[in-house]
Amino acid sequence: MLNKANALLPLVRCLSRRAVPLVLMLLPAAVMANDEAPHGRYTLPDTGDMVGEAYKVDVREGQTLLDIAHEHNVGYEEIRHSNPDTSIWAPDAGDEVVIPARYILPPVRREGIVINLAELRLYYYPDTAKDEPPRVETYPIGIGRDGYDTPLGVTETTTKVRNPAWYPPESIRQEAAENGETLPPKVPAGKDNPLGSRAILLDLPGYLIHGTNRPDGVGMRVSHGCVRMMPETIEALFPRIKVGERVNIIDMPVKVGRENGQRYVQSFPRDDQQIEMGDLLHALEEIDEADDRPVDYAQLRQALENSGWQPTVLAPVDETPDEAEPQQWYDRVAGIGDAS
């Protein structure tokens, strides 16, 4: 048995891609019974793959777009792509801002934690009582930046850490020094700790899900491979996520869903990249499996490129031939349609 008061956890590299480890100190973990659950909880639909609704809010005096994103459980890229003409740092008070709170559920097993890297979003399927409907919770995340990719695959949680200390590896301290910053050998728990107040280790050496002391970075690709969450989100999830919880990390830049007989597509293009043909073909395969109606490929391509990270409805191709309108008496009088 580990002595939770002073035992050191296995080495992790959350903020470094290299093998140089971070060390987390495991402190007593009490259940946070009074923690308020964050936004983002939905009852799973009986049919279809869609949850939530997009809506609009007015900018209050002094708010930034990131303030609004934080308040409404969306990340940086989501709020920016949904409001391309609105200033991130100085939106005008009274302006309407779209909150993209409508989601196509990833087409994978609905159990435990599902992380879609392309979407910068985590889905959590908690266990529910027999008399309760199944539900999903979804929250924005920050992930590894270019060159520090978060690994894909199915894994599980191994250890939960409350108030972790951070021991910056030499590679991170050197990187900070090159940027004119000085990192101490140990960063204790507190406001200066980049791991935040909670951390959940994964059965992937060096990777974990944790909080942050810089919530503006949630919804961005900024870490060295770990998954960052809003402080209030990780604190609310922490007591409910079990050790041994299934974690499925996917990278799906295009999702297809259904609701009320309509088909929807949702894409997450990056500024420096276009949706690749393979992603488009994969989306088409999903559509073909879900519905045998023909697809307007031009509309699909346009939806993928211009969706603003929001689900876009796909109208089916109208294969009914145009029928000639019956002639009226005045057409015959005028000789319209007369073969002579």
Enzyme catalytic residues: 210, 226
* CB-neighbour burial class of residue 45 (10 A; exposed 0-12, middle 13-18, buried 19+): middle
First to last CA, the chain: 100
DSSP single-letter state for residue 330: H
Element containing residue 147 per DSSP (H, E): none
Segments in the chain forming alpha helices (H): 65-71, 76-82, 170-178, 231-237, 277-290, 297-306, 329-334
- Please give the Cα distance from 296 to 291 (Å, whole number): 13
SS3 state of residue 288 = helix
SS3 state of residue 5 = coil
CB 122 within 8 A of CB 115: yes
SS3 state of residue 200 = strand
Lookup: tokens for 279:
């992603």
CB 214 within 8 A of CB 142: no
Lookup: tokens for 171:
């590679």
CB 188 within 8 A of CB 275: no
Lookup: tokens for 6:
């002073």
- Please give the Cα distance from 225 to 172 (Å, whole number): 13
Nearest to 217 by CA among 38, 69, 12: 69
SS3 state of residue 173 = helix
